[in-house]
Amino acid sequence: MAAQVQQAGTPAANFTLLPGTVHFDRRIADFALILAALFTLDIITTHVILWLGGIELNPYMAGIVTAPLAHAGVKMATLLLIVTVSIIAETNVKGSTIGFYAVIIILYLLILVNNTIALVPHIAG
């Protein structure tokens, strides 16, 4: 009687960062990428405004925006928190992520509109 060994695959093939109960939704990744782009634009426009002599209007960020790496770090930590909350919310209430991201995306679009309005006089001459 011959013994036969069956392999279920490599250990790396069975590795996952998320628990098996969490269903990964592509929308979370898409919205996170949109937010990452908006955060990046916010950082860039804010630093251009500061470079042109403007001031940060958000009192909580006023001390942070003077250091670009700290500013980027806070934005990355915020994005990580948002993604974590959205994954937890999606596991509890399917589809809840859409409204959550919609509110945050609209908020950051308004921030970018404000930054753009502040930059227009400098760009126009």
Specify whether the CB–CB gap between 54 and 118 falls below 8 A. Answer: yes
Q: What is the pLDDT of residues 96-120, one digit of tens each?
A: 888 889 999 999 999 999 999 999 9
Dihedral sign computed on CA atoms, order 38, 40, 41, 43: positive
| Domain-embedded: residue 15 | no
**What pLDDT score does 1 carry?**
54
> Of 28-37, 62-71, 90-99, which range is least confident?
90-99
| Domain-embedded: residue 82 | yes
> Of 45-59, 65-79, 86-100, which range is least confident?
86-100
| Domain-embedded: residue 90 | yes
| Domain-embedded: residue 49 | yes
Q: Which two tokens stand for residue 69?
A: 């790496």
Query: How many Å apart are CA 48 and CA 53, to the nearest integer?
Result: 9
Question: If pLDDT is split at 50, 70 and 90, which confidence band does 6 have?
Answer: low
| Domain-embedded: residue 106 | yes
| Domain-embedded: residue 70 | yes
Which residues span the domain enclosing 44? 24-124
pTM for this predicted structure: 0.74
Share of the chain above pLDDT 90, in %: 54
| Domain-embedded: residue 2 | no
| Domain-embedded: residue 108 | yes
Question: If pLDDT is split at 50, 70 and 90, which confidence band does 4 have?
Answer: low
Provide the domain count of the chain: 1
The pLDDT of residue 11 is above 60: no
